[in-house]
Amino acid sequence: MKKDLDRLMQERGIDVAVVRGVVKGNSTMFYIVNGAKMSHALVIKKRGEDPILLVGSMEREEAEESGLKTVDTAKYDYRKIMKDVGGDKIKAAVRYYETIFTEFGVTGNVAFYGQAGVGPNWVLLKALEEGIPGLNVMGEYDDDIFINARMTKDTDEVARIREVGKLTCETVQHLVDFVKSHELKGDTLVKSDGSPLTIGDCKCEIRLALAGRKLIEEVDTIFAIGRDAGIPHSRGNDPDPIQVGKTIVFDIFPQEQGGGYFFDFTRTFVVGEASKEILDTYAQLEECFDTVYAELKANEWGGRYQQMTCDIFERFGHETIRQNPQVRNGYVHGLGHGLGLDVHEKPRLSDFPGVKDVLEPGSVFTFEPGLYYPDKGGFGMRIEDVCYVTESNEIENLTNFPRDLVIEM
C-alpha cells in the first residue's frame, strides 16, 4: 500500500523517488498521481514527504485531480533554457532538471521510476549523473518500491477491482447468451444470414459489451478455439468459425476506462458436445483447481502452489514446465500473478528461481491452472479466478461465475 513507500525507501537507502514519463500505460505514474488524467508528468517524492507533481500549463486542471501539490512547469521556461544552451537538447534537459532539483532539494540517492523511451532515458540519466553534482542516479532493476507497495491493496483498490470483476462476469454471461442465440447448421454456428458465426464476431460483441460498461480492452482479449486454445497466449483467429466440440478459451482482462484497475478471468467452453478426451481432461483440471485452491493460505509462498499443481498434473500423466521448460503439450505456465494497475504484478504464484512472493493480506492474485494440447488433440483449457487475501487472513474469491464447460444448444 502507498503508506509502505517511506519504509521501503528507508530500507533501500533511497532519499528521493522521481517518477517520469507518460501517464497512460505507466502504472507507477498512475499510482502516484492517483489516476489523474494528464498526458505527461514528473513527480518528486522525497522520503517522509508528500509527492509533488510537476506538469505543463495545459494540464493544470487534470493535475489538480491528483490531490497532490502541483507545480506548473511553464515557469521554468524551457524555451529560454534551450536558447541559453545554444539549442543542445541534452544540455537543456540537464539545466531544466537541475533547476527543478535545486528548488525542491533533490539530492543524494535519487532513484528514477516510470515508463519511458529506452534511448532517451539512457541518455538523460547518464547526462544527469555526469552533469548534476551531488546527484547519485539510481534505478531499481526489479521488484522496486512501487511494485512492492502495490502488491497489497487498500480497501478502495479492492472495491474497484471487485467492481471490474462484477462487470467482467456480466460481459462473459452476455457473450455466452450471444453464442446461444445462434443456430447450428451441421457442426457450425450460423448468423441470421446463414454465414458462420466467427471468433471475430464474438470479439466485436465482447468489445461492445465492455464499452457499454465503461471498461476497455487494454490488450486483445483471448478468444481462441481448437488448436489455438492450446497455445496459452494465442488471441484467436478472427475468421475462424465457432464449431461444435472444440474447446474455446475465453480469457478476458478488462481495465477501467482511461487506465486504472484490471480484472482477469478465464473460462473454457465447448459448444454443443464435448469428446470424452476433453471431458476427462477437464475433470482433471477441475480436480487440480479445487485441490490446490483449498490449500491456499495467507502469508504462504506462492511458489508452493505452483509445485502442488505440477505434482497433481504429473500424477495424471501430463508433462509440466517443471520437468521441461520448453514444454508445449501439458501444463506450460505459472499458476497465477498479482493483479491491479497492471495485469501481471506481484505476488506471483511461481517457483521460478528467485521468486519469493508470499500471499500477504491485501494481495489480489489470479489462480489459473490450464492444460494444453495444441499438437496432440488440438485443444486447450484453463480456468482462472481472482482471489483476495483479506486483512483477517482469509482467501476470498472475487470471481462469481460457474465453470460449466459445455454450452448446450
Site for its own copies in 312-331 (CB under 8 A): 325-326, 328
**Measured distance CA(95)–CA(138) in Å, rounded:** 19
Question: How far, in Å, CA of 99 to CA of 118, rounded?
Answer: 24
Candidate ranges 183-191, 204-212, 246-254, 266-274; the one touching its own copies (CB under 8 A) = 204-212
What minimum distance in Å lies between the beta carbon of 104 and its own copies? 18
Among 174, 235, 297, 403, binds its own copies (CB under 8 A): 235
Task: Work out the burial of residue 241: count CB atoms within 10 Å of its CB; fewer than 13 is exposed, 13-18 middle, 19 or more buried.
Answer: middle
Nearer to its own copies, 218 or 360 (CB): 218
Among 1, 7, 11, 25, binds its own copies (CB under 8 A): 25
Q: Does 115 bind its own copies (CB under 8 A)?
A: yes
**How much is the CA Rg of the chain, to the nearest whole Å?**
24
- 90 forms part of the interface with its own copies (CB under 8 A): yes
Residue of the chain from 12, 104, 116, 187 that contacts its own copies (CB under 8 A): 116
Specify whether the CB–CB gap between 189 and 408 falls below 8 A. no
- Residues that bind its own copies (rule: CB under 8 A) add up to a total of 77
Asked if 119 interacts with its own copies (CB under 8 A), we say: yes
CA distance 12 to 310: 35
Find the part of the chain contacting its own copies (CB under 8 A) among 80-88, 94-102, 245-253, 262-270.
Answer: 80-88
Q: Which stretch binds its own copies (CB under 8 A): 19-27, 170-178, 181-189, 306-314?
A: 19-27
Q: Least distance (Å) from its own copies to the CB of residue 88?
A: 9
Contacts of 377 (CB under 8 A, 6+ apart): 230, 277
Enter the C-alpha cell of residue 384. 482462472
Instruction: Please tell me the distance from the alpha carbon of residue 93 to that of residue 42, in angstroms, as a whole number.
Output: 13
Residue 332 near its own copies by CB under 8 A: yes
CA atoms within 13 A on the CB side of 26: 24
Report the SS3 class of residue 60. helix
Place of cell 508433462: 319
Binding mask 248-287 for its own copies (x = CB under 8 A): ---------xx-----------------------------
> Minimum Å distance from CB 151 to its own copies?
16
Question: Which residue number, 61 or 277, has a Cβ lying nearer to its own copies?
Answer: 61
Length of the chain in terms of residues written: 409
The number of CA neighbours under 13 Å toward the Cβ of 330 is: 21
Enumerate residues 38-67 that contact its own copies by CB under 8 A.
Answer: 38-39, 57-62
